[in-house]
Every structure is written in structure tokens, then in C-alpha cells.
């Protein structure tokens, strides 16, 4: 158990809908990362937050957004969903940033039908 | 630009034989390198990392990795493979604020 908690584990939703994925980082970790894993794209970095502030942005679509709250949990919002958004979404956390080990949650499986 | 390459999509090895999963990297400056393993329908589990110091890094489950600066490589090794080692392995390089992952190597250990 990495200590990173993600909910829900699985969800199925229709195209055009909006979903929210939730992440609780490991105790004491200030950085939260979101990654998308799909068969054709591999592991893609989406976005990072550090202590409530956005620190780095990767290949995140404009339809997606995230935030980190004062209690350090994070949410990834996916809207206007398309079939191609079906993927495994990982949250990860680390103490600070570069050089620290990043620990991953078990992921949220999103299926868009 | 920073990047990580895993040249082999698939590696097959017989149980009990030594295994190697290859990784090369490209970075300006000193690299921070990681190996992660992903079992089916699971998250990524941290195996080991190289930050500085000894070029041979020991990690979880008997795995080790050798950092070679001249060859810009960070190959994952294990002296004796187990069937339970069968999984997807990712090499990663830390950038300023996130990890850059390789495309992954699927390791199959044949009984």
C-alpha cells in the first residue's frame, strides 16, 4: 500500500458527461501529480500541484482541470467526455518535488461509453 | 530535452535465470532515475532510484539497477527471475517537477 488513496476505483459514464476523480496523498506529502495511462499513449503526465498551487502542466486537455485543496487532497475534473478519454487515471504524491520518490495510487478506471 | 527510452517492449526469461530490463536516458545535468513495476490492474510500485553515489542501486524484491553515466543507461537487473516478477516495468527520469516515463517493458518469466 503506497498510502495514496484514489476514488472511485471504477466508473462508467456517457459521452458528454463530467466526472470528478479524487485523491488523498500520503501523509506529509505536499506534491500531488495526475497521470493518464492508456493503451496507445502510455503514461502521460497531466498536472502537478504543490501545497495548493499549480506547479507544472503536462499534456492536460482544456476540458480537464484539477485543484489541490488546503487539506492537500486533490481532484481531477474531466468534462465533455469523449470515448478517447477512457483510461486509467493515476494520482501520485511526493514530499516536495525533484529527486523525491513519487508514490502512486491504484488508479481510477474511467470508461466512457 | 529530457527523455527516457526502453528499447524492448517485451522481455522473456526462464525462471531462475538472470534478467535485465534496459533503460537509457537523455538529460542535461545530473539525472534522478527511477524504476517502477506495474502488476495487472494495479498502480505503479516504486522499486528503486538513483540520485547520487554508488552506481549499483539495490531495491525491493531483490532488484538492482546499474547507473552508467558514459552509456547513459540505467538497466534493471535481478540475479534469478521468479514467475511472480512477470509484470510491466517502467523506467523514469525526474524533471523539474514531474517524472518522464519510458514506454514500459513487459517482462514474462517462463516457468
- Report the candidate in A45, A67, A40, A69 with the shortest Cα–Cα distance to residue A57: A45
Distance CA B29, CA B44 (A): 26
B104 touches chain A (CB under 8 A): yes
A80 touches chain B (CB under 8 A): no
pLDDT in tens, B51-102: 888 899 999 999 999 999 999 999 999 999 999 999 999 999 986 667 789 9
Distance CA B4, CA B17 (A): 26
Are the C-beta atoms of residues B52 and B75 closer than 8 Å to each other? no
**Given an 8 Å threshold on Cβ–Cβ distance, is A55 in contact with B97?**
yes
B5 touches chain A (CB under 8 A): no
pLDDT in tens, A55-83: 989 889 999 999 999 999 999 999 999 99
**Given an 8 Å threshold on Cβ–Cβ distance, is A43 in contact with B96?**
no
pLDDT in tens, A40-57: 778 899 999 999 999 989
Q: Find the closest chain B residue to A4 by CA distance.
A: B43
What average pLDDT does this structure show over A23-39?
94
What whole-number percentage of chain B has pLDDT above 90?
A: 77
Residues of chain B with Cβ-Cβ distance to A4 below 8 Å are 43
Cell of A53: 498551487
Amino acid at each position: 500500500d503506497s498510502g495514496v488513496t484514489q476514488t472511485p476505483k471504477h466508473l462508467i459514464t456517457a459521452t458528454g458527461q463530467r466526472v470528478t476523480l479524487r485523491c488523498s496523498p500520503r501523509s506529509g506529502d505536499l506534491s500531488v501529480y495526475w497521470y493518464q495511462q492508456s493503451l496507445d499513449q502510455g503514461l502521460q503526465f497531466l498536472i502537478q500541484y504543490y501545497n495548493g498551487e499549480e506547479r507544472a502542466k503536462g499534456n492536460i486537455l482544456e476540458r480537464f482541470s484539477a485543484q489541490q485543496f488546503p487539506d492537500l487532497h486533490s481532484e481531477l475534473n474531466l468534462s465533455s467526455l469523449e470515448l478517447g478519454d477512457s483510461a486509467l487515471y493515476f494520482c501520485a504524491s511526493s514530499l516536495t518535488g525533484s529527486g523525491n520518490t513519487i508514490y502512486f495510487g491504484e488508479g481510477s478506471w474511467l470508461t466512457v461509453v | 530535452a529530457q527523455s527516457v527510452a526502453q528499447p524492448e517492449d517485451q522481455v522473456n526469461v526462464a525462471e531462475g535465470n538472470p534478467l535485465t530490463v534496459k533503460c537509457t536516458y537523455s538529460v542535461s545535468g545530473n539525472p534522478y532515475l527511477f524504476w517502477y513495476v506495474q502488476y495487472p490492474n494495479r498502480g505503479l510500485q516504486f522499486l528503486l532510484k538513483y540520485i547520487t553515489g554508488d552506481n549499483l542501486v539495490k531495491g525491493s524484491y531483490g532488484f538492482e539497477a546499474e547507473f552508467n553515466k558514459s552509456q547513459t543507461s540505467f538497466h534493471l537487473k535481478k540475479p534469478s527471475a521468479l514467475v511472480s516478477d512477470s509484470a510491466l516495468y517502467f523506467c523514469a527520469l525526474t524533471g523539474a517537477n514531474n517524472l518522464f516515463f519510458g514506454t514500459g517493458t513487459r517482462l514474462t518469466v517462463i516457468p
